[in-house]
Amino acid sequence: MSADPYSDEVRELFNEPRHAGRLDDGISVREDAQGVRVELSAIAGGGLLTALGFRVWGCPHLIAAAEAVCARFEGREARELEGFRTAQIMEILAIPVEKTGRILVLEDAVRSLGQAVRGRSDEA
C-alpha cells in the first residue's frame, strides 16, 4: 500500500517556492553530495539576512526544505545560520527518515552560508 509520501506542506512549498533562484548580487555557497545539488545565496546587511534564494537538484522533500529554510531565515540574524539543525524542519515537513542524508546536505549548505556571510562581514 502506498501512503502519500508528501505532506501538504511539502506539496505547497514544492509547487510554489517563493525563494527559488539565485541572488546574483549576493553571497552564494554550494554543496554537492548524496546525489543532490544545493545552492544557497543570501544578501546580508547590518547582520541581517535581507534576502535568501535557493537552487536545488533533488527530490521534492529537499526542494521543499530549501524553500522552508529560506522563508525561515529571511529577516533574521545571519549568525543564526551557523546553528541550523535539520531535525525541526524534518519534523514540520514530515520528511521520511530515509531522506535524512539528503536533508543533511542542506544543513551543510546553510552552515556554509552562515560562515560565508560572517567571513564577508569580517572583511568589511
Give me the residues that bind other proteins (CB under 8 A), please.
2, 5-6, 11, 14, 17, 20-22, 30, 32, 35-39, 55-60, 63, 98
**Shortest gap between Cβ of 107 and other proteins (angstroms)?**
17
**Shortest gap between Cβ of 66 and other proteins (angstroms)?**
9
**Shortest gap between Cβ of 60 and other proteins (angstroms)?**
5
Q: What are 89's three cell numbers?
A: 524542519
Taking the C-alpha atoms of residue 9 and residue 15, their distance in angstroms, rounded to an integer, is 10
**Cα dist. 22→39, 43, 97 in Å?**
8, 11, 28
